[in-house]
Amino acid sequence: MIKHHGSETLNPLFVADEAKRLELQKEAEQLPSIVVSSAAAANAVMLGSGYFNPLTGFMNKADALGVAERMTTTSGLFWPVPILNMVENASGIEGATRIALRDPNVDGNPVLAVQDIEAIEEFSEADMQLMTEKVFQTTDPDHPGVDAFNGSGRTCISGPIQVLNFSYFKTDFPGTFRTADQIRAEMTDLGWEKVVAFQTRNPMHRAHEELCRMAYEAVDADGILIHMLLGKLKEGDIPADVRDAAIRKMVEVYFPPNTVLVTGYGFDMLYAGPREAVLHAVFRQNSGCTHLIVGRDHAGVGAYYGPFDAQTIFHDEVPENALDIEIFEADHTAYSKKLNKVVMMRDHPDHGKEDYVFLSGTKVREMLSRGETLPGEFSRPEVAAILMQHYRSGS
């Protein structure tokens, strides 16, 4: 199976030993504590899950700026986005060398992790602008990722962490949430060596389904990992539980047994386009995948990125040999009325726009909310029924 990023072994920061974890939980109740941002909590979950291997905790200022500018830490580790614990005010933990990090997304703010403090540093306005521009390619506050990144504060608390739980992800999504080492174990049990990963924050319609099948066949893979984001999204996106049900139904009905793993990871969407695509590649490599599908406007939002910027970054900015995972570059896929099947549009220059079935996300939402049936060329009926129920319930 493909090796982990940056280390010989996978080093998840979750404290797996129960006795040690209980001891840390008792200690944490006596430590100075802070309620972290949702972004920092998600970073802790990803560190605990092994997805952010080989990082040992939250980055300091120098590493964060180096990653933003050059995609490398001061030690030379390749990494695409800063992994930070940013707060508005650290006055409550002044002088502390060890603190408890409390979860903002769970009632009662239980302790999520324990952090050893190596430094508490302030980012200047210029620092924040530089990181924002490099990571998101815009400083527009209307960009949801920019808004979240700049809304967590400018005080950076760096240092290693020990993770005590997986926030709400394991309890709310027990059948779907998986850590990187759990995914590797499941792939090993299935005998998979070559695995194609598909990233999604949305339900999967016919084009997504066929894209997975195309990549699977093109690289002669043993299996497909459908890996969905379970954390916070922008307003209007489909909730994770609805998306999960729709994807599972699609796989159950339309894929052969033991060819697809449906799993999820605990992270908030960055909407950072190309940089987030590279982060997706890093943690899919840590999960054991050999290939990642990167399609049109991967991890994008609005019109902030070109349709294929998330592919070109791997050629233009990611150093050779920085990653072992390979990218399957996909074009826009759509149902061809001429051929009566889903195709990759670049492969059919004889087609005009009128030869495809296109539906915008807005149009789909409008149709579902009115109880209208989606065209069979666009969405499987079983998937459409689940989505229609969600919209009609007003959830």
Residues with a catalytic annotation lie at: 201-202
Pair 193, 125: CB distance under 8 Å: no
Give whole-number Cα distances, 111 to 50, 79, 103, in Å. Answer: 19, 27, 6
Query: Which residue bears the tokens 């999520």?
Result: 112
Locate all alpha helices (DSSP H) within 105-205, ordered by sequence: 125-136, 144-150, 169-172, 180-190
Q: Identify the residue whose tokens are 């043993």.
A: 222
Any residues with CB less than 8 A from the CB of 44 and at least 6 apart, and which? 36, 101, 112, 113, 161, 163, 167
* CA atoms of 37 and 379, how far apart (whole Å): 37
DSSP state of 50: T
Contacts 24+ apart (CB under 8 A), 377-380: 377/206, 377/335, 377/337, 378/205, 378/206, 378/207, 378/335, 379/205, 379/206, 380/205, 380/206, 380/209, 380/249, 380/250, 380/253, 380/254
The DSSP 8-state label assigned to residue 177 in this structure reads B
Amino acid at 30: Q
Beta carbons of 146 and 51 less than 8 angstroms apart: no
H-run or E-run covering 138: none
* Tokens matching residue 88: 């508005």
| Residues 82/121, Cβ–Cβ less than 8 Å | no
* Pairing state between β 155-163 and 260-265: unpaired
Strands 33-35, 98-102: parallel, antiparallel or unpaired by DSSP? parallel
- The DSSP 8-state label assigned to residue 10 in this structure reads -
